Structure 1
Amino acid sequence: MHKDQPETSLRQNRKHSVRRLLAAAAIATLSLSAHAAGTFDDARNAAVLGDAKGLARLIDGGIDPNSVDASGNTLLILAAREGQAATVEALLQRGVPIDQQNPSGDSALMLAVLGGYDDVVRALLKAGAKVNHDGWAPLHYAAFEGRESMLDALFAAGADVNARAPNRATPLMLAARNGHIGVVRRLLAVPETDLNALNDAGLSADAWALQNRNTDIAKLIEAERKRRGLPAPSMRITIE
Structure 2
Amino acid sequence: MPKPTESIKRLLVSAILASAFLGSTAQADSYEDALSSARRGDTPQLMQLIARGVDPNTVDAQGSTLLILAAREGNLDTVKELLKHRPKVSLRNAAGDSALMLAVLKGEIAIVDVLLEAGAEVNHDGWTPLMYAAFEGRAEIVDRLLARGADVGALAPNGSSSLMLAARNGHIDVVRRLLKTGADLDQKNDAGFTAESWALDNGNTDIAGLLRAERSRRQAAGAR
Q: Same fold (TM over 0.5)?
A: yes
- In the other structure, the counterpart of 2:69 is 78
State how far apart, in whole Å, the 2-side matches of 1:58 and 1:94 are: 12
Is the Cα contact below 8 Å between 1:38 and 1:58 reproduced in 2?
Answer: no
Length-normalised TM-score, structure 2: 0.84
* 1:222 matched to 2:219: no
- Cα 1:37–1:202 change in 2 (3 A) is closer
> Partner amino acid for 1:214?
N
Counterpart residue type for residue 114 of structure 1: L
Alpha-carbon distance in 1 for matches of 2:129, 2:81: 22
Across the aligned residues of Structure 1 and Structure 2, the Cα RMSD in angstroms comes to 2.3
> Distance in 2 between the 1:111 and 1:176 partners?
21
State the Cα distance separating 1:146 from its structure 2 match: 0.6
Instruction: List per-residue Cα deviations over 1:43-92 (Å, max 9, x = no partner).
Output: 11211122222211110111122121111111111011111111111111
Same amino acid, percent of matched pairs: 57
Between structure 1 and structure 2, the one with the greater Rg is 1
**1-side partners of 2:178 and 2:169: how far apart?**
14
Q: Return the letter of the residue paired with 1:166.
A: P
Determine whether 1:193 maps to 2:191.
no
Residue number in structure 1 paired with 2:7: none
Local SS of the residue matching 1:229: helix
Change (3 A) 1:39 1:207: same
C-alpha contact (below 8 Å) 1:179/1:209 kept by paired residues: yes
In the alignment, which of 129, 148, 153 is matched to residue 144 of structure 2?
A: 153
Amino acid at match of 2:189: N
Aligned residue pairs total: 204
SS in 2 for 1:160: coil
Partner Cα separation in structure 1 for residue 197 and residue 34 of structure 2: 47
Q: Which residue of 2 aligns with 1:209?
A: 199
For 2:90, the aligned partner's letter is: D
Shift of 1:187: 1.1
Residue type of the partner of 2:50?
A: I
**For structure 2, which runs of at least 5 residues remain unmatched after alignment?**
1-14
Provide the residue aligned with 2:41 in structure 1. Answer: 50
